[in-house]
Amino acid sequence: MHVLLAPDGFTGTLTAKQAAAALAEGWRRGAPHDRITQVPLSDGGPGFVDALADNLGGEVVATVVEDPLGRPVPATVLVVERAGRRTAYVESAQACGLHLLAQDERDPTRTSTFGVGQLLAAALDVAPHRIVVGLGGSGTNDAGAGLLAALGAGPRARLGRGGLPLEVAEPADLAGLGAVADRLRDVDLVVAADVDSPLLGLHGTSAVFAAEKGASEEDAQRLENALGHFAAVVGRVRPPATDLLTGAPIRPERQPGAGAAGGLGYALLLVGGRPASGVEAVLDAVGFDDLVASADLVVTGEGSFDWRSLRGTVVVGVAEAAARVGVPAIVVAGRALVGRREAMSIGLSGVYAVAERPEQVAASFADPAGTLVARAERVARTWSPAAG
């Protein structure tokens, strides 16, 4: 049997590549006669560039940018040439990721995406035809104002100090916004987001994601107000385009993906970006449909298989790709908090947790690779005819 192992990273414990290796080791123990192919994946968040580099090759260009608190941090741009066209892949989490912050540093009222702007500038330096920016896993909630400051839209002192200072933003703070858009006009800018949330509202970035980045309920409400004010100022500086069919204004803050990475998607849409699913961008780039068609079973995975896993994630993308060609897909996760009915609704044939009981959670964090190997071994014996 040919088994395709295509996990995302297990957040906080294993990268996608490490997870794929652990799944492979366990599977070989349980079903040593099976043929295994490893394809680490990403939804646009942490591991985006590594997953693409592992599958596409290309040149990795090293640089140094600032983290969410302004400290230097290493980052990379992946440059891939195909048919005379150069694509630069950028992973925003390398500059604004939550993993870059200690627990007591997590405060989205003051963390900034300035470093992502620096990373985008580094991508522009390689003269690409296309730039794909992976969004996800951020520790920021600044509507991408920091990124805009780094590219020259306005002063860092006004735009690059986090989300909360945006509550006093003024049109003069965005005097260079048009110039930034002009700078990117000839580049196909793809916004590969891990979520399709808008910037504002009950389903927006502050309401849904600010708490996990360290915001209190009061902070989240103030951030919502600050980002709303910022979007209104942007609308005065750069009035929205008009929908030719309806005559209504096209408001970027309401677009799917605008709320990704704390509103970083919004800033990229402002300067000409076009939205895309992060996981679909990765699956397309690695030729995943062809890989699935040659497999007998697909195994995906992530740290926590929960309600958020049911929309726009690696697990969903893998399950849908497998369903299109009639190949069964299963997920092996650190924890499984979604029922069988919900799992079947996205095309999964099985869900397996490393930590099946609450008392097993500590062990899974203490030895994430070892416990994943052990679980994969048991799953292999269940699914592989060779194991019988």
Residue 109 belongs to domain with CATH number: 3.90.1510.10
Query: Does residue 149 sit in the same domain as residue 58?
Result: yes
| Count of structural domains, the chain | 2
Q: How confident is the model at residue 71 (pLDDT cuts 50, 70, 90)?
A: very high
Query: Does residue 165 sit in the same domain as residue 292?
Result: no
pLDDT digits (tens, 9 = 90+) for 48-69: 999 899 888 899 999 999 999 9
Q: Has residue 387 got a pLDDT over 70?
A: no
CB distance 207 to 262 below 8 Å: no
Q: Has residue 273 got a pLDDT over 80?
A: yes
The SS3 call for residue 50 is helix
Boundary of a domain, candidates 214, 245, 280: 280
Give residue 274's pLDDT: 94
Alpha carbons 290 and 281: distance in angstroms, whole number: 15
What are the residues whose beta carbons fall under 8 Å from the beta carbon of 1, sequence distance 6 or more? 31, 34, 35, 296, 297, 384, 385, 386
What CATH number should be reported for the domain holding residue 378? 3.40.50.10350
Give residue 388's pLDDT: 56
The SS3 call for residue 73 is strand
| Domain with 323 in it | 2-40+287-387
Alpha carbons 78 and 281: distance in angstroms, whole number: 14
Boundary of a domain, candidates 248, 280, 312: 280
Boundary of a domain, candidates 219, 246, 280: 280
pLDDT digits (tens, 9 = 90+) for 300-354: 999 998 888 888 789 999 999 999 999 999 999 999 888 888 889 899 999 999 9
CB distance 276 to 135 below 8 Å: no
